[in-house]
Structure 1
Amino acid sequence: MSFQATAVASSDPSADHTLGQRVLREHVASVYDTYIVSTLTHMAFVMVFGCIIYSQLRNLSLLFWIGGLVIADIYVFFTPRWTPLRPARESAYWARKISRMVTLVSMITAVVPWLIVPYDNLPMTSLLMAVIVGSCARAAQSLWPLKSALFGYTLPMSLGLITALAWQGDGLHLFLAAAGAAYLLLTLRAGIGQHRLLTESLMLRFENEALAARLGEQIAATERASEEKTRFLGTASHDLRQPLHAIALFGAALENELRDRPEGRNAERLMRAVNALGASLDTMLDVSRLDAGVITPVPQPVQLDALFLPLNHTFSARAEQKQLQLRVRASGLWVHSDPQLLHRMLSNLMDNALKYTAHGGVTVMARERGDSVWVEVRDTGIGIAPEQSGRIFEEFYQINNPGRDRSRGLGIGLSIVQRLSRLLGHPVQMHSRPGRGTHFRVVLPLAGAQASGLQPAFPSETGDLAPVPQRRIAPPLPGRVLLLDDELEIREAMVGLLRSHAIDAHAVADEAGAAAALQKAHGEGRPFDLLLCDYRLADGVDGLDAGLRLCQGPGEGRAEIPLLLITGETSPARLQRVRESQVPVLFKPVVAAALLQAMAELAGSKVAARPSMVDA
């Protein structure tokens, strides 16, 4: 028997063998699928056909032939046969067994032409040929999965008929013998072709299944690796932010103490380095929050001139330092967007433009186009080559910065722009000419002019936005603050910073200590004005839950106090939970100015504000 299921070349012999067994098992299953019906049908047909032939020829030998075939069919029917529960390694045995059985039946059938043809009864001979040709045709369809069974069934009975016809020697019988031989060859050729196609299709199917399984395993491994990397980065980020947060607090306190002394310059340099590192961590956190889907935009009518004015304030000094012209044009237009997220988009685009511009300047303008507004940031910088235009939105990719010059940032700004563009539904378009400059266009939906409490921005004589002098009264800092943090260094640094700003700060390590401090302050009539709480406390205690219990729990008439959460968390699930709680949050390392401003706003208004670029 020739099995071609192992014909596919592979560098792994064991894989070939396994694949061959699976293909052969499918072939065996296909043949055995019609086993019972075929056997019973053949038995009934033999008896009917035998009776017809015997009634015409009255040859006793035909009765013995009929009996032999019926006995063979009974044996085939009752002998143990293949079932789907049989293991694949036994497939070769069952293939050989069914091939032997159909060969036995065919060999018994091969006798009947010698019992009929010599009678020179043309109608009976024609009937015999029709029966054998029909049997071969049926075999070609049902047995081509197993070539040995196909040959075993068709060859004996066909050769018996051909030789019986040729033995007669006359022209008619020789012609019938030649026709039978031609039909046999065509039938076998078609059966072999169908067998090959079926084998190849099965092998392709199993190979695809194997590839799909391996791909699934690789995807699962990649997902596990990604989850492990996320956990590692989250833990690493938190553990890095903790000491950096302490350094920032100690440094801010030191800078405040040495403000009017010569040593203060070193403190200022230290804080610039700490703030730069904190900004890098915050930038990567922004990417993490955008990818995690924990940022929910709040679209509203936005006056572009009021948005452009702080951008002009932010970047004018930097442009002047590089001797560049920064023009932010007034437009009087309103758009529909999230003001904070749109501010971050434009801020990143302006930062990128100034970063890559050495001569000339940067222009920011807005133009109305139908029901849209085009906000464009144009520069006269180095430009972007066509082959690099597809990569500028990738994380950490920077043009002409192979040495990773830290003064040029991390290369994440445009990546954040792209993410915010998708989140807000504001398409970003880019056109650039190397050596001539680049301009980015943000397409925003137009909104009608709205009554707003925002102070309007007035254009200068050139049409650029000019700052509007206005007096801002900073809210007072809280008098007494309670800090809940499980790390000693953080408590010492925070207390030192707050006391350097004349704030009475008291620090505790756990919730029980905080509850006792709050109760004591209430009894003394000197309640705390604000609770600062770390998100991750010792022994897995959730700082958000602890802070909410302390601020809203029973206190024998004690009034609620504002809660400000401080965290170094980057876990998307935890960030989403903080955002849903609507508790204001600052991310470590906290800049002293941002901390004091948030504390003042909370203590003064007792209304949660958003202290960072985006919601947690």
Structure 2
Amino acid sequence: MSVQPAAPSTPVADHELGQRVLREHVASVYSTYGVSTLTHMAFVVVFGSIIYSQLKDPSLLFWLGGLLMADIYVFFTPRWNPSRPVRESAYWARKISRMVTLVSMVTAVVPWLIVPHNNLPMTSLLMAVIVGSCARAAQSLWPLKPALFGYTMPMSLGMITALAWQGDGLHLFLAAAGAAYLLLTLYAGIGQHKLLTESLMLRFENEALAARLGEQIAATERASEEKTRFLGTASHDLRQPLHAIALFGAALENELRDRPEGRNAERLMRAVNALGASLDTMLDVSRLDAGVITPEPRAVQLDALFLPLNHTFAARAEHKQLQLRVRASGLWVHSDPQLLHRMLSNLMDNALKYTMRGGVTVTARERGETVWIEVRDTGIGIAAEQSGRIFEEFYQINNPGRDRSRGLGIGLSIVQRLSRLLGHPVQMHSRPGRGTHFRVVVPVASAPALAPAGALATASLIEERGASALALPGRVLLLDDELEIREAMTGLLRSHAIDAHAVADEAGAAAALRLAAREGRPFDLLLCDYRLADGADGLDAGLRLSQAEGATTPLLLITGETSPDRLQRVRESRVPVLFKPVVADLLLQAMAEVAVAR
């Protein structure tokens, strides 16, 4: 069988596609193999008996016997079945074509035995049988052109030539009619064969495309998982030494606070905090991917949200000699205040980053059931071909050298993730050289009836509570497998008059808890690292230790982990957690809050 691919790609691919199509054709023809053969045998016996009873020609018996033997051979010879390999399809196609041709050639003899008797009723019956047989067989043999030609042509030509041999007008007319019918049957069969072949090729090509698409999706998912694992591992390995540096630096800054050398300690801590902020940005991506952030939407006063944003970015805008306008609106929206604050903060940060002259404007307008919060700038703008990439991680416009002062290129990626999480669509319009404006569409909300005038719905975002506002724990047990962190942490805690005891493993922590219980001086807080030596799980160890010796010791987890699965596990445990590197003030505040919550 000849197969012509609709859209050839490579010879190997074309050959494989042709083999699959041929296999389907063979399967279609063989699907009626047994029933068709038995039906043909029964019909031959009936038809032969009728003809012989009318013509009494002994030669018909020899023909009948020969045709039955051919049918018996066809029925019992080995046949194709679905277990046959694809590469054998051509062999089985040739075999069935030879068999149907054999049956047709034996049948082609019968017109020469019947037509010469000049028995018009028997001749008419013969023509009806051959025409009907060709019509029935043509439908089942359309998939294989050799079989179609092999079955229809011999018996039809036998009938046509036998009729034409008689030479009179009636027989010549019948011969012409038979020839016309044969041509029409073959023409229709070729057309159906072409349609079947093309439909099968289209089906297999679509299946191949779907399979390739599935592979590409799987590869993309694997790449995303590998990226997440890489970021998690890299972030953890970077956070560990940075955490120790931050602790040593905080202790040093505290000791040198009133001395001239203290300025260098302050500069050191500013650099450490800047690096920690970059790592925290990567942590935000991991937390969003892990699904550990759950929105808590409520009525939010936008003016209360805009005020801390204005305070945060005013100094930066002034430093770049830009105008920053954050306009009051009096509107309320339904959203999570912290997550919406983060979205707008990232958009404003991005706007100031790419604006060299002019300024940035933040406005809010009510539009039906929604509020449009817009951040407009007069910066460099975004070309149309780049607009689809600005939400990708680490992609930055006009920053091929990865200038560190322009951030990591993750801010808009976080905006997109928060947009999906909150259900707040983000729209972007930009003109290169003229500026960009982002629009966040947020559901409108009614102001609470008892809301005090000027209440800050996002007070938790801008309130800076010192550690002195709460009482610090007197005794703290630290479980961390790294010596530098143990030394840095104990030094920092002791500089704040906290009795700190550090151990490297769970066994040491259990022994310290037992000793403290015997002395009647229990620990007020257990600080535990998530990843301990030899793959030990700090969360499980901390939970066991916090319930040891018949007492409940408050547990505060400190970790440099950012992998989504581990973040999800920490969230489900409901244990308070801090992420390395930990700022000293935040650490002391968290310790005080956990100890007081006891």
TM-score, normalization by structure 2: 0.90
Match of 2:567 among 560, 575, 578: 575
Match of 1:503 among 498, 501, 504: 498
Q: Deviations over 1:17-47 (max 9, x none)?
A: 4444333332222222112221122122222
Q: CA deviation at 1:73?
A: 1.9
Q: CA deviation at 1:207?
A: 3.6
Q: CA deviation at 1:494?
A: 1.2
Please list, as runs of the form range in 1=range in 2, the aligned pairs for 1:209-228 lying within 5 A after superposition.
209-228=207-226
Match of 1:531 among 504, 522, 526: 526
Please list, as runs of the form range in 1=range in 2, the aligned pairs for 1:460-479 lying within 5 A after superposition.
474-479=469-474
Tell me the distance in 2 between the aligned counterparts of 1:200 and 1:268: 75
Q: CA deviation at 1:499?
A: 2.0
Tell me the distance in 1 between the aligned counterparts of 2:20 and 2:223: 33
Please list, as runs of the form range in 1=range in 2, the aligned pairs for 1:512-551 lying within 5 A after superposition.
512-551=507-546
Check conservation: 1:333, 1:449, Cα contact below 8 A. no
Q: CA deviation at 1:246?
A: 1.4
Amino acid at match of 1:63: L
Name the count of aligned residue pairs. Answer: 593
Check conservation: 1:6, 1:17, Cα contact below 8 A. no
Q: CA deviation at 1:526?
A: 3.1
Please list, as runs of the form range in 1=range in 2, the aligned pairs for 1:158-557 lying within 5 A after superposition.
158-385=156-383, 388-432=386-430, 437-444=435-442, 445-451=444-450, 456=455, 474-551=469-546, 553-556=547-550
Check conservation: 2:467, 2:588, Cα contact below 8 A. no
Q: CA deviation at 1:297?
A: 0.5
Q: CA deviation at 1:249?
A: 1.6
Tell me the distance in 2 between the aligned counterparts of 1:433 and 1:98: 69
Q: Deviations over 1:252-309 (max 9, x none)?
A: 2222223333333333332222222211111111112212322111112323333333
Amino acid at match of 1:92: A
Tell me the distance in 1 between the aligned counterparts of 2:432 and 2:50: 95
Amino acid at match of 1:497: L
Check conservation: 2:5, 2:201, Cα contact below 8 A. no
Tell me the distance in 2 between the aligned counterparts of 1:429 and 1:13: 47
Q: Which residue of 2 aligns with 1:563?
A: 555
Q: Which residue of 1 aligns with 2:594?
A: 602
Q: Which residue of 1 aligns with 2:579?
A: 587
Tell me the distance in 2 between the aligned counterparts of 1:214 and 1:418: 28
Check conservation: 1:334, 1:449, Cα contact below 8 A. no
Check conservation: 2:328, 2:363, Cα contact below 8 A. yes
SS in 2 for 1:482: strand
Which stretch shows the higher mean deviation, 118-127 or 313-322?
Answer: 313-322
Tell me the distance in 2 between the aligned counterparts of 1:473 and 1:257: 18
Amino acid at match of 1:201: S
Match of 1:116 among 110, 114, 117: 114
Check conservation: 1:373, 1:446, Cα contact below 8 A. no
Match of 1:88 among 69, 86, 89: 86
In the superposition, relative to structure 1, how do residues 359 and 264 fare at CA in structure 2: closer, same or farther (>3 Å)?
A: same
Tell me the distance in 2 between the aligned counterparts of 1:184 and 1:125: 17
Q: CA deviation at 1:468?
A: 12
Match of 2:56 among 55, 58, 64: 58
Which stretch shows the higher mean deviation, 325-334 or 506-515?
Answer: 325-334
Q: Which residue of 2 aligns with 1:610?
A: none
Q: Deviations over 1:169-210 (max 9, x none)?
A: 112212221221222222222222322332333333334334
Tell me the distance in 1 between the aligned counterparts of 2:424 and 2:489: 41
In the superposition, relative to structure 1, how do residues 364 and 153 fare at CA in structure 2: closer, same or farther (>3 Å)?
A: closer
Q: Deviations over 1:58-115 (max 9, x none)?
A: 2222222222222222222223322223333333333333222222222221121112
Tell me the distance in 2 between the aligned counterparts of 1:202 and 1:337: 53
SS in 1 for 2:409: coil
Tell me the distance in 2 between the aligned counterparts of 1:204 and 1:457: 63
In the superposition, relative to structure 1, how do residues 447 and 523 fare at CA in structure 2: closer, same or farther (>3 Å)?
A: farther
Check conservation: 2:467, 2:589, Cα contact below 8 A. no
Q: CA deviation at 1:507?
A: 0.7
Check conservation: 2:249, 2:268, Cα contact below 8 A. yes
Check conservation: 2:466, 2:589, Cα contact below 8 A. no
Q: CA deviation at 1:371?
A: 4.0
Amino acid at match of 1:406: R
Tell me the distance in 1 between the aligned counterparts of 2:195 and 2:482: 72
Q: Deviations over 1:381-407 (max 9, x none)?
A: 444455544443333333443333222
Tell me the distance in 2 between the aligned counterparts of 1:115 and 1:498: 116
Q: Which residue of 2 aligns with 1:462?
A: none
In the superposition, relative to structure 1, how do residues 367 and 565 fare at CA in structure 2: closer, same or farther (>3 Å)?
A: same
Tell me the distance in 1 between the aligned counterparts of 2:172 and 2:162: 10
SS in 2 for 1:342: helix
TM-score, normalization by structure 1: 0.88
Q: State whether structure 2 residue 35 is matched by structure 1 residue 37.
A: yes
SS in 1 for 2:549: coil
Check conservation: 1:6, 1:19, Cα contact below 8 A. no
Check conservation: 1:301, 1:450, Cα contact below 8 A. no
In the superposition, relative to structure 1, how do residues 454 and 498 fare at CA in structure 2: closer, same or farther (>3 Å)?
A: farther
Q: CA deviation at 1:330?
A: 4.0
Amino acid at match of 1:82: W
Amino acid at match of 2:471: P
Amino acid at match of 2:535: G
Tell me the distance in 2 between the aligned counterparts of 1:407 and 1:510: 40
Identity %: 85
Check conservation: 1:110, 1:157, Cα contact below 8 A. yes
Q: State whether structure 2 residue 150 is matched by structure 1 residue 156.
A: no
Q: Deviations over 1:123-142 (max 9, x none)?
A: 22122111111111122111
Check conservation: 2:360, 2:378, Cα contact below 8 A. yes
In the superposition, relative to structure 1, how do residues 46 and 292 fare at CA in structure 2: closer, same or farther (>3 Å)?
A: same
In the superposition, relative to structure 1, how do residues 161 and 234 fare at CA in structure 2: closer, same or farther (>3 Å)?
A: same
Check conservation: 2:242, 2:272, Cα contact below 8 A. yes
SS in 2 for 1:555: helix
Q: CA deviation at 1:471?
A: 11
